[in-house]
Amino acid sequence: MSTLLDVRDVSKSFGGNAVVNHVSLSVEDGSSLGLVGSNGAGKTTLFRLIAGELAVDSGDILFQGRTLPPRADDRARIGIARTFQIVELFGGQTVLDHLLVALQAHQRRQGPWRDLVHGGRTTPEERAACMEILSVVGLDDRAQAPASTLPLGERRAVELARALVCGPRLLLADEPSSGLDGGETAQLISIINRVRRETGLAIVVVDHDLATVEALADHVVAMDAGSVIAHGTFAEVTTNVDVMRSWLGVTP
């Protein structure tokens, strides 16, 4: 496997406080990385730096060997997708509509010229592409349902499908299990792992639920006070002395 994402000595401060402090890590093509740590460890800030929502103070973030463009929407167009801890869906729109809007925006196929040519309608090719993704996440039978009426587990699957319809190489998954019960979490994990197997998608996941991280991540990085304190397999990281002291609240 080749390196897909390469974070090199990245730092970010707010008000003179180093929130991310000289962090380096990498994600191989098709692999999955879990970021763990207590609140304030810096993992969410690092996540947002990778997504392009924040600018680095120093260091570099490379994607497929190239420096990332500064804007989040441009990063999305080169293959980095993002899901959010709080599900953001459009009120009143169907499940299928959510994917169509995302696909058209990603391909820059919205605007007056498109409306003139297609009369504001979506094309059969667009609808077929979106239905294919809905089938992958198990929501093809819910395509015409208003997304806002679905249970939270299915709404998270809609958000995942909306990210996948743009054909990303890397998915940034922010607290995917947040608010879900055990059954919903297991179902979402199953969907994500199936997508990984079928598409070769790489993932960076942040989640406070360690069982979710264990189920999704090939490799885990633990952070504390803005720095990386351990990396390795889930078992190696969660039994690391520094990790146990810093955020598991255990003294070995």
- Do both 5 and 73 map to the same domain? yes
- Do both 18 and 73 map to the same domain? yes
Could you report the per-residue pLDDT of 156-210, keeping only the tens digit for each?
A: 999 999 999 888 999 999 999 988 999 999 999 999 999 998 889 999 999 989 9
d(CA 46, CA 226): 9
d(CA 68, CA 75): 7
- The pTM for the full model equals 0.87
Strands 219-224 and 227-232: antiparallel
Whether the per-residue pLDDT at 46 is higher than 50: the answer is yes
Give the CATH number, domain containing residue 46: 3.40.50.300
Residues counted in the chain: 252
Could you report the per-residue pLDDT of 25-43, keeping only the tens digit for each?
A: 999 999 999 999 888 889 9
How many domains would you assign to the chain? 2
- Do both 74 and 84 map to the same domain? no
- Do both 72 and 89 map to the same domain? no
Q: What tokens appear for 243 in the block? A: 């990790």
- Do both 117 and 40 map to the same domain? no
CB–CB of 219/34 below 8 Å?
yes
Orientation angle between helical segments 182-199 and 124-136, nearest 10 degrees: 120
> What is the structure's pLDDT at 133?
93
Q: pLDDT band at 74, cuts 50/70/90?
A: confident
Domain encompassing residue 153: 80-167
For residue 190, being part of any structural domain is answered with no
DSSP 3-state percent helix, strand, coil across the chain (nearest 5): 40, 25, 35
Whether the per-residue pLDDT at 117 is higher than 70: the answer is no
- Do both 151 and 214 map to the same domain? no
For residue 176, being part of any structural domain is answered with no
Of the three residues 144, 167, 190, the one that is the final residue of a domain is 167
For residue 174, being part of any structural domain is answered with no
